[in-house]
Amino acid sequence: MPDGSRSQMSHAASRASAAPGGGQLVALPVERDDAELLRRLQRGDPWAKAVLFERYGALVERIARRILGSERHTTFADVVHDAFVSAYATVHQLSDAAALTSWMRSVAVHTSCKSIRHHKARSWLRFFSPEDIPELPARGADAELREAHDRTYRLLESFPLDERVAFALRYIDGMELTEAAAACDVSLATIKRRIARAEARFVSAAKRDPVLATWIEEGTRWNP
């Protein structure tokens, strides 16, 4: 999301929660009450939109990073922006306030998938954010780990989209099966099948890779 939009949302939320006659911030009921937040969102309340972004912005960006990796055709800020535009436009479809978090995960997943479909540029899934990976050549064990990661990204890039997303949500983001199923809008049985296919595809390909084969044989599992 553009910096201007972020600042505007943060300012709106701060201004709405300022105590009359003073600069001290106070918590308003809507911040604790999802039902009230949903009602205000469905009314189009600008302050409620700011609260939604403040509460779920980091979650949406994290999911986008896990699915998109280092896509060069767009920035994560653009995907986050598009996700919230979609959320504001479709919030009237949500009837259960208790499902707000699950719904935002789903919006993040669908927006990320839409970005992939619209742009066929090369993309690599990363197990860590780019800033977590050293730019300078590493040595010893660090060099081996980086090489294994790089080869893993190349494998994941070739996965069918539904398996790529399932793999990313389960093994990279660490979602529970029920959470991943809800985020993808599929049944628990379906997400299990997708994850099983993705893992089998990954293990089969990794065993043929001279670097990744060692990790597979040693029973190593990536669990960031």
* Per-residue pLDDT tens digits for 118-173: 664 333 333 444 444 444 444 455 677 777 777 876 787 788 999 989 988 988 78
pLDDT for the residue numbered 71: 54
The token pair that represents 140 in the structure block: 């010893």
Of the candidate CATH numbers 3.40.50.2300, 1.10.540.10, 3.80.30.20, 1.10.1740.10, the domain formed by 1-17+29-123 belongs to 1.10.1740.10
The mean per-residue pLDDT over the stretch 70-95 comes to 84
Residue ranges per structural domain of the chain: 1-17+29-123, 132-224
Whole-number mean pLDDT of the chain? 76
* Per-residue pLDDT tens digits for 52-77: 999 999 999 999 988 887 554 557 88
> What single letter denotes the amino acid at residue 101?
T
pLDDT for the residue numbered 121: 38
**221, pLDDT greater than 50:** no
Judge whether 26 and 17 are in contact, CB under 8 Å: yes
Residue 38, CB-side half-sphere exposure with 13 Å CA sphere: 17
* Per-residue pLDDT tens digits for 44-54: 999 999 999 99
99 membership: H or E segment, kind and range: none
Q: CA-CA distances (angstroms) from residue 72 to 119, 121, 159, 223? A: 10, 7, 18, 25
* Per-residue pLDDT tens digits for 91-110: 999 999 999 999 999 999 99
Judge whether 167 and 202 are in contact, CB under 8 Å: yes
**194, pLDDT greater than 90:** yes
Three-class SS state of 211: coil
The token pair that represents 57 in the structure block: 């912005």
CATH code of the domain occupying 132-224: 1.10.10.10
CA nearest to 165, candidates 150, 187, 181, 147? 181
Burial environment of residue 100 by CB neighbours within 10 A (0 to 12, 13 to 18, 19 or more): buried
Q: CA-CA distances (angstroms) from residue 105 to 28, 46, 88, 210? A: 24, 21, 14, 36
pTM over the 0.75 mark: no
pLDDT for the residue numbered 31: 53
